[in-house]
């Protein structure tokens, strides 16, 4: 089922990219802008579709944990690169506070990469300007990581439901930000699968902080 859904959408996205980046002088700027908007919508829909499929596989117990050696600093750098499309032209910087001597760890690379991307994507979505900060350390055979932002924040009532499927923030200023309300649900469930946990703290108008931890093995 997942292949039948994703393959046609991938072909459409690839075709749009080909037209935008190719030598098509006949296209007006309005047409190109329309194609870029279609590309953004298609890419966002593909990510939502992947989140739905992953959540379904998690509930069915069909998403195995695959442990391997991970360079966490490199994994964070790749997640930052992947989220640049979500940032676009916003005056928004991503900073890291991870020691150069951060040890290699053993965990599930695919899932930790997905968790980082989803948290960064969420932060970028709700932070119109300012800063996103990633802080990480390894302590007592556990990875502790925080993703902080200077975004619109989350009201206290919403914090109880922020990880629920399809939840949308009630704060009026959040209504301009679109999403299916699945990213944070998937983050929570992936962390549970890895034996971890997550907590959120926030203040309206000042930003949010998502702090998670998972058990890991330190290499060396």
Task: Say how many residues make up the chain.
Answer: 220
Q: Where are the alpha helices (DSSP H) in 60-164?
A: 72-82, 84-87, 109-125, 156-159
Residues 110-124 pLDDT 10s: 999 999 999 999 999
User: 166: helix, coil or strand?
Assistant: coil
Tens of pLDDT, residues 187-212: 999 999 999 999 999 999 999 999 99
What is the H or E stretch that residue 213 is in? strand 207-215
Higher model confidence: residue 119 or residue 19? Answer: 119
pLDDT band at 1 (very low <50, low <70, confident <90, very high): very low
In the sheet that holds 68-70, the strands lie side by side as: 68-70, 105-107, 217-218
Q: What is the pLDDT of residues 39-52, one digit of tens each?
A: 666 666 677 777 78
Q: How far apart are CA 20 and CA 216, in angstroms?
A: 43
pLDDT value of residue 48: 74
Residue 181 — pLDDT band, cuts 50, 70, 90? confident
Averaged pLDDT for residues 83-89: 89
Give me the residue spans of the domains in the chain.
2-59, 68-218
Residue tagged 């994994």 (tokens): 75
pLDDT > 90 fraction of the chain, expressed in percent and rounded: 56
Q: Hey, is 83 helix, strand or coil?
A: coil
Nearest to 35 by CA among 18, 47, 11, 10: 18
Question: What are the tokens at 111?
Answer: 């899932």
For residue 51, which of 169, 211, 181 has the smallest C-alpha distance?
A: 181
pLDDT of residue 133: 98
Residue 205 φ then ψ, to 5°: 85, -5
Helix, strand, coil proportions of the chain in percent (round to 5)?
A: 45, 20, 30
Phi and psi of 42, rounded to 5°? -65, -40
- The topology (CATH level 3) of 68-218 is Heat Shock Protein 90 (3.30.565)
Assessment of whether the complete model's pTM goes beyond 0.85: no
């Amino acid at each position: 089922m997942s292949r039948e859904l994703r393959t046609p959408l991938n072909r459409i996205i690839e075709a749009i990219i080909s037209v935008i980046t190719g030598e098509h002088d006949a296209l007006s700027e309005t047409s190109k802008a329309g194609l870029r908007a279609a590309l953004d919508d298609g890419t966002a829909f593909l990510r939502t579709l992947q989140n739905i499929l992953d959540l379904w596989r998690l509930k069915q117990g069909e998403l195995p944990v695959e442990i391997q050696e991970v360079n966490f600093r490199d994994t964070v750098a790749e997640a930052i690169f992947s989220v640049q499309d979500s940032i676009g032209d916003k005056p928004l910087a991503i900073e890291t506070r991870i020691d150069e001597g951060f040890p290699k760890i053993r965990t599930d690379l695919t899932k930790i990469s997905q968790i980082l991307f989803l948290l960064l994507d969420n932060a970028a979505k709700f932070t119109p300007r300012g800063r996103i900060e990633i802080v990480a350390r390894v302590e007592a055979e556990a990875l502790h990581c925080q993703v902080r932002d200077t975004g619109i924040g989350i009201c206290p009532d919403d914090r109880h439901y922020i990880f629920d499927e399809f939840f949308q923030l009630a704060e009026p200023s959040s209504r301009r930000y679109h999403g299916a309300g699945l990213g944070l649900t998937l983050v929570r469930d992936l962390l549970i699968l890895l034996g971890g946990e997550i907590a959120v703290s926030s203040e309206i108008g000042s930003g949010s902080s998502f702090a998670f931890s998972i058990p890991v093995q330190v290499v060396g």
